[in-house]
Amino acid sequence: MRKLLRFMFLAYSLLLTGYFAQAQDRTITGHVTSADNLPVAGATVTVKGTQRSTTTDANGNFKISAKKGDVLQFTYVGMQAKEATVGNGSSIALELSSGENALGEVVVTALGIRKEQKALGYSVTQLNAQELMKNKNTNIVNSLAGKVPGVNVTQFSGAPGAGASITIRGATSTSETRQNQPLFVVDGIIYDNSTTVTGNTGTDGLSRSNTTYSNRVMDINPEDIETLSVLKGAAAAALYGARAADGVIVITTKKGAEGRVTVNVTSKVSTSWADKLPEAQTVFGPGSISSNGVVNTDSYNSWGPKIPSDSTIYNNIGNFFRHGLIYDNNVNVSGGSKNGSFYLSGSNFKQTGIVPGTGYDKTTFRFNGEQKYGRLTLNATTAYSVATTDRTLTSAGLYGSGVGSMQELYNWPQTYDIRNYINPNGTQHRIYSATITDLANDVDNPFWIINQDKLTSKTNRFTGGINGNFKITDWWDVTGRLGYDQYTTNDNTFIAPGSAVIAKYQNGRLSKDQVNYTYITTTVMTNFHKRISDFDTHLLLGTTSDDFNTNVQNLWGWNFSTPGTVSLNSIDLANKQFSDNTIRRRLVGVYGEVGVSYKDLIYLTATGRNDWSSTLPVANQSYFYPSVSGSFVFTQLLPKNNILSFGKLRGSWARVGKDANAYATNTYENPPVTILAGNGSYVGIGNQWQAGNATLIPEIQTSWEVGGEFRFLNGRIGVDYTYYHSQTANQIGSPRLAQSGGFIFSTLNAGTVINKGMEVALTGKIVSQKNFGWDATLNFSYNRGSLGAFIPGVQYFYPTDVQFGTIKAASIPNGGPFLGIIGQPFLREVDSKGIEISNGRYQIDPKTGFYKLNTNLPVVGNREPRYIGGFNNTFRYKNLSVNFLLDVRIGGDVFNGTEYFMVVNGLSKKTLLNDRQSVTLTGVSSVTGADTSVTYNAGQNYTIGTTTYAGTSMIYQYWQNYASNSSNFITKVNWLKLRSVSLAYDFTSMFKKQGVIKGLSATATGTNLLTWTNYKGMDPEVSVAGGTGGSGSTGIDYLGVPAVASFTFGVNLKF
Amino acid sequence: MKRSKYITLVCLLVLGLTSCKKWLDVNTDPDNPNNQSVPIANKLSWIQNYWKEPAGVTNMRTSCISGVIYAIAASQNTLSTTWQATNANSTTPYQAFFVGVSSNITDLYNSAQKQGAYHYMAAANVFHALGYMEMLDLYGEMPYTEAGTGIPSPKPDDGKTIFNGCMARLNEAISLFGKTQEAGVPSLSAGDILNNGDVNKWLKLCWGLKARYMLKLSKKAEFNADSVLYCLSKGPQSNADNTVEQNFNNSAATDFLEGDPISANGNYDFAGYGSNQRIAEYYYNLLTNIRGAGVGDPRMPKIVPASMANIQLNASTGKVASFTWLRSIGVNSYNATDKNPAPAGFPNRLVKGGATSIATVTVTSTPTSVVYPFTTSTAIADHPNFVASLLAAGKVPKNGSNMNDFADSGNYVRVTYKPGSVYIASTNYIQAGDTVYVNLRSNSLATTTVAQASNDVTWYPNLAAYNAGVVASTGSFQIRPVSDMEILMYHEMCFIKAEVYMRKGDAANAYTAYRAGIQAHLDYMQTKLTQWKGSFDKTSSGIANPDMNPMDQTAINTYLASNAVAQGAGTLTMSDIMLQKYIAMGVTIENWNDMRRFNFSAGNVGSFGVVYPGYQRGPLFTGQAQLTGSSPTDPRYWIRRWALPPTYEIQYNFINTTSLNPHATDPNIWSMPIWWDCATDAEYYGYLKP
């Protein structure tokens, strides 16, 4: 296949060479500086209309051959591009000015191709190193929050090493096994960003919810990043193929520049603390109430009698958390000569979490080098990282409240000191050991878990790429790339002997998971670039192959023979098991792009790609998708003016195909079970709970966007506007469906996800003077995700079947919200037609004595924010700069599951109403419709139906009834967050007289210091199960590790 | 030249595409077989072995309804005690059958059909019938024709369709078992755990199942007693024809869906796995005082568990030196009148403490004092009874400075439990006497906390108890890990025959069958108990578990000759037949099925009178929202079906489910009769109307 393509390119190029002749050139030299009169090293100088280019050296000097009348283009990432026409002279001096979204800025687009922003028919946002480092986060994904319109970042939890999920312009896939996160491409190589959750509650004993799992992009050292481009729409990303439907984030790492070797050292120390903790009532002690009023005080619920005034009350939740610490050290060395450059870096990031015993430690190394041999340029990038995470307690997670979640912390009776977790003889101190005789029926004290159990994760990752670029002529080049990404994750879970697990495991168990990910990619592409009078044309043809291989092995065993020897070797063979799973996925793509522009007025680009994916049935393996985009710089037609200095309209239409997950075409079997029966030995093999599908077709996303960019007052104010619409049809998924189908999940094509929205970015250089400057960026976006048609007969699409209290995450077919919430609100009074009156009074059911629930699963909320935005400000006064980033969200429902949980167990302060002596229900009878008001007093008995209940039981039941009304815990959340504020001082000017130190600066940064919100729970920025695909569990706040705020101090030294 | 260029191009294209295709051919999981490649013998073994999960959980939970088992666990307690049935009960049987079994049946049938393996097709049909009929018994309506095939959101079928479909499968199975398999296909014995490939036994199983299923139609005009008798004539003729799944305690491996031991009995997995289940008083009364005869059933000590009591440990070895067996009593939750002795000095234990309040015992290895406060007004009133019960139990009160067994200060009573005592570690005096409710628990390799030997399945609460040899439960005949999973038994055939003859008015034949049924069950038990003796009756103290040894022949003879068993056709009633069947069926769904056919204790079916006397709504009844009938003769007074699993079925299949039965999500769906429980189709379809 690829051979053939190469042959075709060759043929095409030979054909072209015949038509165009070479021109005569002379050498032009020059000097490029920035606004502060410093040389700009590494700026690209191109002879317009050709591929002839060079870069400036460390002193900002360059040499290039050009002829009179040629236009030289000067571009440098993050700075405004400029042009200069070659006149009679042989030297050119030029000043480049910096600024985000500057007019004519060059951005990195698909396949690493740099293009002028004005040429693009779609929206791309690029962030440079400086911007990313303003509020550095070891997870680069978190650094994007609030900075890019249309991008939604959700931090999984406040646990160290916890990942974050990122979605661009809304999620496009409904199913929990499908990714909705953008593709990450680092230096041209697809960089795996999965959040691999190994093991399970069945084999590992602790809920390994992915709220404490890293997303693998965290393996990148953020300091190594030169630029980060967010390609939002399908048109921008179409050339990347299958996974580009969710957008692409293109990262380019740093390179060395020609000149003296530079050493850069950065050190940071940071402290973090729990932002906000749930509050527990301290009036009533442990107990549960039965219907006749009998109280059982041996209970983890807090519905018992009043706590006597002389009792000690423990602040269990407060006593649990501590301050976290981060030490972050980076060093990099770079340099280069005329024909080669290098960049070498090392970093260590060491964090201890707010939950004792948790931590994250990441060490990274990177070497990037480049060498030129005449027309051939070779560069290599390599990175190695080792990341370890110590985790213990997790959020309850989308998959329920497994053992080891934060649940018990938010449940522990306040009269017992949760810190008292171990007996002198080393066994677990159990507060109800008398009545909960069976250890297996008890729960683990959270302190037992953090001190006795051990959960660790270690990832060693190597990524590398070799790029070769050969300039055949100045208008034609060929690029070849070989990329490799490999990591091994080792997860260990040790459940200590004496834990509250089923009998078999009470003597301890150990589970070891190893994930081996290997990815090899090859790319060959060729570029033709030709200017024919006023028309600038280019053609790109390429082919790529991707080979993904993941192997997951699990070893586990239980019952250690020798106490203290925690090893699989210390386990009898009969108590050991292992499993082995290999996932292979391969893809071949052939793509092309053709573009033409007229003067600097109109730009048109069309792309096409055909993929062959191994994951689809053979008959459906091949699929093609095209895109077209265009941009019209209408200000070219207007007379030059200072009011509207630049104006551009753009539009694009694209289609992207998305393949299936590996092995989705077959139904697979469970591991064999040996059954020793009376007649002998048999081996049983049965189906797994997922059904395959041999007739899958690719998922197809069709999208379009229109927008414009406008610069006013010589570019001091800029507006960028985009409206987009995308529709992802033939959704491949393996949704949970009725189990009568014989499976829990069935793979199929069904449903359409529609996203539409708008993005606005305003940039302003409000003050721009020598000693004082104020730059501000305001961005603002919304997305409306909805589910189109779905499987006939299926009312809602649920990403999972686990509920939190009475609510469920669901997507609502036929135009309903993608991020819907299904629940059971109280029924309200009905009008004469039997229709519920909105905001009418609640119905009281005389059969139960309480408010009546609507059991018909109505939609009770939409978790998608109405608007999100960011306001980023930088003030500069001489050497001091202050930056603050405000993050805004308006609307979007959040379910406060933690409060729900604490109402149910009686720890919520809400339940102190009337000192638990009485409750009153008012509304209408669900039978007669008559006005009804009932009061239940603690001292009385009540007969409902034929049963008599004690008043205390009725009050208890009132609160259970209150808890079952999902609407009581749903808030339409608005927030304004001071995401970060940082202060930096540059001491460089103090070192002018000597030659060693080139720069010194210090920074102080606070993150999440202030949040103004109407949300009453811990933190509205929540996702209980992290990066779960589909509509996931964003907006569901359920027993999580609290979010953290932090303060960081750092110094940066350059010499 | 030009042409050759094109030819080269085309050649390259073809070559490229072929190698590309090959390179892309990696979409078959190298580590796991798929449902097309699995040998049929392995599929059959899987189905047979996994069937015990849905059957076991169904047996346990329906036995909570029928009065065999009392359960503490909140959701099963609603079936056994409050009748405020919760959807939480509906989930496991449904998932275990549909996800664990149903798609495998479809695959087995199709794979076997391709190969001409007729006996495997037939076996698939039998499990189809067993499975879907049980689902019908529980849920009334659910997907059937579109079920088990991976079709998303299959449409549900009504009860009549499902019933007829299952019968047709049995008929097909009978004809397929009669065929010779194509050459080269695996013989049935290769995968047949149940009957080791014995086709004749399979045929008897088919006919026996047909009889069982036809009997369900007894309320209907089309019920044909002679057809049932014909089926019976071709079904099992003796205990040798029983189809059981033998179970073993030989593996700690657990299954993929429910995490239960792969080798153990399904009833054990749900009723004997934890400490939550006890014998209910309804069953207990039948085993101790059937027909008011006051004669103990010889089966009683094998079914009702015992624990050690009055234990003296040997001072030097720490082992049990002397003890008595404390036979459990039943937990009363069905009847306002507790016929049991009053533990801790007060009757109606559940009413006193709450529906789920019965506490589980522990064993102490050191002298342990528990101080019971009697400070509330209720407790003060109970105080004299409590002290009296201590005295009655032979406990010696404090005498001067001699602390003895207990001390009474009026407001507080301190009881000292000696080392080795089985006691309740709670200071709540109400629970102090709960040692009389021995739980049905057994230990298996997969659940033991003390690493006991595989031939010891008794329950020790902790290591100290194990080391001392203090047995806290001897277990129950049908609920041990090593108990048989009873698929179809000869004694059931006898009782069906007895019922059918009774319906025909032929009391003489009914009587013969009735006696044969009792005898068959006694024989079956005796055979099993004899097998266990010396092999599975071990305990850590070396004292054999007496409940796993044969019944006393004298007791059997006495019982059979007593008024506990009808002594002639003249005195035989339908109730006698059904109650003896109830005892023999024990922990199976068939008791609840039979009770529905006779409207429980309403007494309004035919002229048979009250067939299940004493079975009533209990004093802790809170199920008025679920069971909306106002009197026992109202069909909707009783638990007549289960709600479909709210998540696993209704949530994902809401539109289809409610379009067939708009009441599927109503709280009182629990009292809606299913198709075979209705006298006419009109009655049934009337219920399904909006």
Q: Give the per-residue pLDDT at A1017.
A: 85
Q: What is the pLDDT of residues A388-419, one digit of tens each?
A: 988 776 655 434 334 566 788 888 988 999 99
- A positions 111-170 inside 8 Å of B (CB): none
Q: Do B447 and A504 touch (CB under 8 A)?
A: yes
Residues 6+ apart with CB under 8 A from A14: none
Tally A–B CB contacts below 8 A: 307
Preferred mutation among B25, B26, B136 to probe A, highest tally of A CBs within 10 A? B26
Q: Which of B1, B651, B656 to mutate to test the interface with A (most CBs of A within 10 A)?
A: B651
Contact A547, A519 (CB under 8 A): yes
Of A669, A735, A946, the CB nearest to B38: A669
Between the CA of residue B618 and those of A820, A942, A947, B65, B357, what are the distances in Å? 43, 19, 11, 12, 15
Sequence letter at residue A171: A
Q: Are A269 and A348 in contact (CB under 8 A)?
A: no
Cβ of B19 and A676 within 8 Å? no
Residue A458: what are its φ and ψ, rounded to 5°? -135, 130
At B13, is the pLDDT very low, low, confident or very high (cuts 50, 70, 90)? low
pLDDT at A802: 60
Q: Is A504 on the interface with B (CB under 8 A)?
A: yes
Closest by CA position to A1041, among listed A197, A417, A315, A405: A405
pLDDT at B642: 98
Residue A662 backbone zone (phi > 0: left; psi -120 to 50: alpha; other: beta)? beta
Is A201 a residue whose pLDDT tops 60?
Answer: no
Whether the per-residue pLDDT at B468 is higher than 50: the answer is yes
Query: Residue A716, class by beta-carbon neighbours within 10 Å (0-12 exposed, 13-18 middle, 19+ buried)?
Result: middle
In this structure, what token pair is assigned to residue A123?
A: 């929206």
In the block, tokens 């920025």 appear at A1021
Q: What is the 3-state composition of chain B as percent helix, strand, coil, each rounded to the nearest 5?
A: 50, 10, 45
| Token representation of residue B667 | 């709280």
In angstroms, the CA B64 to CA B586 distance is: 11
Report whether pLDDT(A668) > 50.
Answer: yes
Q: Do B624 and A668 touch (CB under 8 A)?
A: no
> pLDDT at position B610, please?
96
DSSP state of A1043: P
> Are residues A588 and B24, on separate chains, in Cβ contact within 8 Å?
yes
Are the beta carbons of A684 and B192 closer than 8 angstroms? no
Interface touch B28/A666, C-beta < 8 Å: yes
Which residues make Cβ contacts (< 8 Å) with residue A258, sequence separation at least 6? A41, A42, A55, A57, A58, A336, A337, A338, A341
* pLDDT in the model for residue A16: 40
Chain B residues whose beta carbon lies within 8 Å of the beta carbon of residue A581:
29, 31-32
Residue A10: pLDDT band (50, 70, 90) is very low
- Residues A111-138 have pLDDT tens digits of 777 787 788 888 888 888 888 887 778 8
At A77, the pLDDT band (50, 70, 90 cuts) reads low
* Separation of alpha carbons A947 and A966, rounded Å: 28
Contact (CB<8Å) B654/A502 = no
Residues forming a β-bridge with A700: A657, A729
- The residue among B127, B125, B126, B166 whose CA lies nearest residue B144 is B166
Distance from CA of B683 to the nearest CA of A (A): 26
In this predicted model, what pLDDT tens digit does every residue of B512-523 receive, in sequence order? 999 999 999 999
- Do B429 and B417 meet the contact criterion of CB atoms below 8 Å apart? no
pLDDT in tens, B555-614: 999 999 999 999 999 999 999 999 999 999 999 999 999 999 999 999 999 999 999 999
**Predicted local confidence at residue A17, as pLDDT:** 40
Residue B656 backbone dihedrals phi, psi, to 5 degrees:
-65, -40
CB–CB contact B361 A792 (8 Å): no
Give the confidence band of A806 by pLDDT, cuts at 50, 70, 90: confident
Angle at CA of residue A730, ends A725 and A736, nearest 5°: 110
Inform me whether the C-beta atom of residue A438 falls under 8 Å from chain B C-beta atoms.
yes
Give the Cα separation of A474 and A64 in Å (integer): 12
Helix, strand and coil content of chain A, in percent to the nearest 5, comes to 15, 50, 40
Shortest CA gap B50–chain A (Å): 9
More confident residue, A395 or B116: B116
Average pLDDT over residues B518-541: 96
pLDDT of residue A385: 96
Q: Model ipTM?
A: 0.90
How far A79 CA lies from chain B's nearest CA (Å)? 44
Assess contact for A251 and A220: CB atoms under 8 A.
yes
For A740, the closest of B29, B98, B248 (CB atoms) is B98
Which tokens is B423 given? 């006691």
Q: What letters, b where the CB count within 10 A reaches 16 and e where it falls short, cover A145-168?
A: bbbbbbbbbbbbbbbbbbbbbbbb
Which segment of A830-839, A1012-1021, B4-13 scores lowest on mean pLDDT?
B4-13
Do the chains contact at B143 and A741, CB–CB below 8 Å? yes
- Contacts B333 to A, Cβ<8 Å: none
Residue A915 is predicted with a pLDDT of: 95
Judging contacts by C-beta atoms under 8 Å, the chain A residues touching residue B120 are none
Q: Which range, of A505-519, A945-959, B60-74, B91-105, averages the lowest pLDDT?
A: A945-959
Residue of A613, A674, A739 to mutate, interface with B, max B Cβ within 10 Å: A739
pLDDT of residue B339: 67
Among the partner-chain residues A667, A683, A795, the one whose CB lies closest to the CB of B35 is A667
Tell whether A716 is within 8 A of chain B (Cβ).
Answer: no
| Contact residues on chain A for B461, CB-CB shorter than 8 A | 437-438
DSSP, collapsed to helix, strand or coil, labels residue A36 as coil
The verdict on a CB contact (< 8 Å) between A675 and B193 is yes
Residues 6+ away with beta carbon under 8 Å from B512:
none
> Exposed, middle or buried, B307 (CB in 10 Å: 0-12/13-18/19+)?
buried
Q: Which of B12, B360, B651 sits opposite A7 (nearest CB)?
A: B12
Q: How far apart are CA B489 and CA B492, in angstroms?
A: 5
Is the CB of residue A533 less than 8 Å away from at least one CB of chain B? Answer: no
In this structure, chain A runs to a length of 1055
Which of A740, A798, A821 is the best substitution to test chain B (most B C-beta atoms within 10 A)? A740
* Residue A826, beta-bridge partner list: A853
Compute the C-alpha angle B602/B605/B607, nearest 5°.
Answer: 110
Q: Which SS3 state, helix, strand or coil, does residue A969 take?
A: helix
Most confident segment among A578-582, A790-794, A935-939: A935-939
How many whole angstroms separate alpha carbon B598 and alpha carbon B581? 13
Of A290, A437, A686, the CB nearest to B104: A686
Nearest residue of chain B to residue A793 (CA atoms): B655
The per-residue pLDDT for A167 is 83
Determine the residue among B35, B439, B663 to mutate to test chain A binding: the one whose Cβ has the most chain A Cβ atoms within 10 Å.
Answer: B35
Across residues B350-361, what is the average pLDDT? 85
Q: Measured between CB atoms, does A741 come within 8 Å of chain B? A: yes
Q: A443 or A956: which carries more pLDDT confidence?
A: A956
Q: Is the Cβ pair A739, B246 closer than 8 Å?
A: no
Task: State how far the Cα of A144 lies from the Cα of A153, in Å rounded to an integer.
Answer: 7
Find, in chain B, the residue whose alpha carbon is nearest to that of A437.
B362
Give the per-residue pLDDT at B14: 56
Q: What is the pLDDT of residue A58?
A: 65
Radius of gyration (C-alpha) of chain B in whole angstroms: 28
CA geometry: angle at B192 spanning B188 and B197, to 5°? Answer: 45
The minimal CB distance from A679 to the residues B193, B252, B647 is found for B193
For chain B, the farthest-separated pair of C-alpha atoms sits apart, in whole angstroms, at 125
Element (H, E) at A684: strand A680-684
CA–CA distance, B392 with B385 (Å, rounded to integer) = 10
C-alpha–C-alpha distance, residues A750 and B153, integer Å: 12
pLDDT bucket at B455, cuts 50 / 70 / 90:
very high
The rounded distance, in Å, linking the Cα atoms of A920 and A935 is: 4
Residue A156: per-residue pLDDT? 67
Contact call for A687 and B104, based on CB within 8 A = yes
Work out the average pLDDT over B83-108. Answer: 94
Average of pLDDT values for A81-98? Answer: 77
> B652 falls in which pLDDT band (50, 70, 90)?
confident
Sort B455 into a burial class: Cβ within 10 Å, 0-12 / 13-18 / 19+: middle
CB A959 within 8 A of CB A906: yes
Percent of chain A scored above 70 by pLDDT? 90
Q: How far is CA B414 from the centre of its chain?
A: 40
* A666 closest CB neighbour out of B34, B362, B624: B34
Contacts of residue B94 in chain A, CB cutoff 8 Å?
739-740
pLDDT band (50, 70, 90) for residue A263: very high
- The mean pLDDT of B211-216, rounded to a whole number, is 98
C-alpha A381/C-alpha A467 separation (Å) is: 9
> Which residues lie closer than 8 Å to B264 by C-beta, 6 or more apart?
B247, B248, B249, B444, B446, B481, B482
* pLDDT at residue A36 in the model: 57
Give residue A22's pLDDT: 41
Task: Please give the Cα distance from B32 to B371 (Å, whole number).
Answer: 59
